[in-house]
Structure 1
Amino acid sequence: MYRVWNFVTNYSLLLIIGAILALIWANTNPQTYHDFVEFVIVDDFFIGHLHDDGHGHVVRTLTLHYLVNDVLMAFFFAIAAKEVWEAIILKEGSLRGKKAATPLVATFGGMAGPIAVYLGMAYFLGSDTYDAVAKGWAIPTATDIAFSYLVGRLVFGASHPAVRFLLLLAIADDAAGLIILAIFYPSGELAPEWLLISVAAAVGVYVLFNWLPRRMDRGNEARPRSTWVRNKLSWWPYLIAGAISWYGFQEAGIHPALGLLPIVPTLPHADRAFGIFSEAETHLKDLLNHTEHLLAHPVEVVLFFFGLLNAGVEFSSIGSPTWLVLAGLLIGKPLGVLLMGWLAAGPMKLGLPEGMRTVDLFVIGCVAAIGFTVSLFVASVAFSPDDMLGNVPVQDAAKMGALFSFFAAVVSIIAGKVTRVQKQD
């Protein structure tokens, strides 16, 4: 349990503190808060958000908000991508083989259900509401992996097979979320030819600093060239390649926070992974895990500022987008996971892990309804701050729904009691 609390402390505690400070600040002195969020670091720069300078020229301005959301959050998504990559590529990866089949099908339900509830209820509320909020359909599909896993252990106990099932679902959810962000939420006008720069950076760094040294060391157990590259160059070539890839994403119009994703698979990695919450994971010394360990504390600080710069919502902004996001998470996700999980386990004959009941799928869906981090991020890119529904800023209202998704923890505990979950510690 210590490892779980340690992970939550590393990746979420400062985020929560930042979010709470933002809520207090925005509701006591909103003008200074918004001035802080949009503080201009460099005007007319080579990175930043595009806008008209008032003289007919399109320029980029680097603001504090852009620096955190679009530049520094790339390291957070790189860590998420590392877990997904290991789960897919390693021989014993958690998202490979039949053991992952039912969780993957349930993940589809856990994304389709929230979308259906969110858009269905928006349509029921009328065309004005639907038109205003439709772009936010992906907000309730997210699952906050750290908090969901922690709540899952509180509900099921550490040894219950449903906890492993939940973790597989959350990792798959993260993978799907990254794809959704890349495809459906471009940061500007698409110019896909710029992605060739990202591809070239990934291929170049992999060939020169990973494949070639290993190729030259074939038959030599001492591996002198690979060792020299690891000891002398370490992660620096990959950081440079990451910067190039990030710039390619920005210019391509794809959200640049995803710009490090092509580089993650190029880092040398161990032939096994013990899992994101395993104590043994800290003892892996390959460059991929070493880089993740180095990023841990900087990403803590990044998440603090992410919470501070994105969660500052005035309570007067609560409106229908808030309840739509919450409904998508608290209704759509449990029902979607239950329906598709049952379909996979029963009619599709993929089965459930031994010791799991069908009704446990519903409880897992309730736990996975904690969207928070990624839901907050998607809300910030899905809507412009100028999008309005009546007198309610849509982006702020949707963010409040993401923040309120913490109530899914309470719902999960109640659902566990009602369905008579037998904790296995």
Structure 2
Amino acid sequence: MYRAWKQLEEYSLLLIIGAVCALAWANLSPVSYHALIEFPIWQNAYIGDLQRAPAGTAARVVTVHFLVNDVLMALFFALAGKEVWEAVALRNGALRGKKALTPLFATAGGMLGPIIIYLTGVAAVGQMNQLAGGWAIPTATDIAFSYLVGRAIFGARHPAVTFLLLLAIADDAAGLLILAVFYPQGDLAPGWLLLSAVTALAAYLVANRLPRMLDAGRPGMPFTTAVRKHLSFWPYAAAGAISWYGFHQAGIHPALGLLPIIPAIPHSDIEFGLFAEIEKLQTDLLNVIEHALKGPVQVVLFLFGLANAGVEFSTIGAPTLLVASALMIGKPLGIALPGWVAAGPLGFGLPSGMNYRDLIVLGCVAAIGFTVSLFVASVAFPTGEIQDAAKMGALLSFAAAGISFIMARLLSVEKKS
């Protein structure tokens, strides 16, 4: 049983299972599927989606969809945010210094390319007013699935795999910023963000900085040890809940609400990189929390797939083609061309052992949008046929995996196991 769970966890298979179940359910019995996803768990709540009654009054309602997308997915984005913060803030972070310049150029192109393809397609079909808001859907790269496909193509020791992870982490950072800035949930009230900022600062000072100051010159760090032993992660969990509420009230997607707390949690100044085996041996509190959350987050991803991938095949339309083509055409071109400019004419170079053919194939791998693309589709468009059609385009980005294998064979990419 343990070995089966590790397989499910390592390959994010629960997300795929949830998506497949949702697709089957929504097409076999759409009424029962949507009845469950929109089931009101808590009416007249302090949190939730605003729903208007026939009389014109509005009240907040916590539905299954809200619970999954706005509450539970905060754990997923916290794990993604942890990797971004490590890569940017720590001394040996992957996105610091000259080594990150070519991946950053490729990331920028890999986001701009799909946007251009998408908006050009929207203009061509003459539906700018209806569809232009989905421009950010094809900008995402699914870290887990792109990593697994990249390893299968290049091998575990190929520098292209590291390059791909750098690109995906930078992509996630930009994606989080896009969600916060361009897709507010309701009326903006940025003053509430002060609650998140003050809470994060208080957690850092009281549970992190103050014990270390009291330990100055004391052997064994008694205050820090006592706080870690008796309080553990609870101060940060409480701060996270308050920060989440601040984001919710501010009108910014609350799934991002745990991000301000991440820098407040104790962390050693070492970063081995996403999916590095040695990360499992880290005992600082931030890594301990990450390891504890990985299993539950896989369950969250199953629920996310179940709650968001339930689209009927009859809804396939223009948004489907626009999102899928923007990912599978715009991503590879957007990554390969700016990556070549950065590595060649600008002189930043590629990692030793990696060539331009690898860069082209890597661009195809990065076109797998899936998780974050589904999430952005759910906030870019209101519930209905357009949203469902856009989600189908995100699901179809899985075809990029097959395209990647074909391109790797055509370009004779060398596998380094």
Q: TM-score range by the shorter chain?
A: over 0.9
Partner residue, 1:411: 403
Partner residue, 1:303: 301
Q: Deviations over 1:366-419 (max 9, x none)?
A: 000000000000000100014xxxxxx110000001111111000000111111
Is residue 2:151 matched to residue 1:159? Answer: no
Letter in 2 for 1:421: V
Q: Deviations over 1:63-102 (max 9, x none)?
A: 1110110011000000000011111111111111111110
Give, in whole Å, the separation in 1 of the partners of 2:324 and 2:337.
19
Instruction: Give 1:243 shift.
Output: 0.5
**Aligned pairs for 1:255-270 within 5 A:** 255-270=253-268
Letter in 2 for 1:333: K
Partner residue, 1:389: none
Give, in whole Å, the separation in 2 of the partners of 1:413 and 1:103.
21
Is residue 2:321 matched to residue 1:323? Answer: yes
SS at the partner of 1:263? helix
**Aligned pairs for 1:116-155 within 5 A:** 116-126=116-126, 129-155=127-153
Letter in 1 for 2:313: F
**Partners of 2:38 and 2:64 within 8 A in 1:** yes
Is residue 2:71 matched to residue 1:71? Answer: yes
**Partners of 1:135 and 1:383 within 8 A in 2:** yes
Give, in whole Å, the separation in 2 of the partners of 1:210 and 1:11.
34
Q: Percent identity?
A: 62
Partner residue, 2:83: 83
Instruction: Give 1:8 shift.
Output: 6.6
Give, in whole Å, the separation in 2 of the partners of 1:419 and 1:27.
39
Partner residue, 2:341: 343
Give, in whole Å, the separation in 2 of the partners of 1:149 and 1:334.
16
Relative to the length of structure 2, the TM-score reads 0.97
Instruction: Give 1:42 shift.
Output: 0.7
Letter in 1 for 2:63: T
Letter in 2 for 1:357: N
SS at the partner of 2:358? helix
**Partners of 1:11 and 1:299 within 8 A in 2:** no
**Partners of 2:165 and 2:274 within 8 A in 1:** no
Q: Deviations over 1:134-156 (max 9, x none)?
A: 11111111011011011111111
Letter in 2 for 1:42: W
Give, in whole Å, the separation in 2 of the partners of 1:212 and 1:49.
39
**Partners of 1:185 and 1:254 within 8 A in 2:** yes
Partner residue, 2:390: 398
Partner residue, 1:25: 25
Partner residue, 1:186: 184
Question: For residues 65 and 162 of structure 1, do their structure 2 counterparts lie closer, same or farther at Cα, with a shift above 3 Å needed?
Answer: same
Letter in 1 for 2:373: S
Letter in 2 for 1:406: F
Q: Deviations over 1:270-320 (max 9, x none)?
A: 211222211111110110001111111111111111110100000001111
* Of 183, 200, 203, the match for 1:202: 200
Please provide the CA RMSD for this pair. 1.4
Give, in whole Å, the separation in 2 of the partners of 1:37 and 1:324.
26
Letter in 1 for 2:248: Q
Letter in 2 for 1:252: A
Q: Deviations over 1:104-143 (max 9, x none)?
A: 11000000000000111111112xx222111111111101
Give, in whole Å, the separation in 1 of the partners of 2:296 and 2:156.
29
Relative to the length of structure 1, the TM-score reads 0.95
Instruction: Give 1:47 shift.
Output: 0.7
Instruction: Give 1:6 shift.
Output: 5.0
Letter in 2 for 1:196: L
Question: For residues 6 and 368 of structure 1, do their structure 2 counterparts lie closer, same or farther at Cα, with a shift above 3 Å needed?
Answer: farther
Letter in 1 for 2:412: R
Instruction: Give 1:357 shift.
Output: 1.3
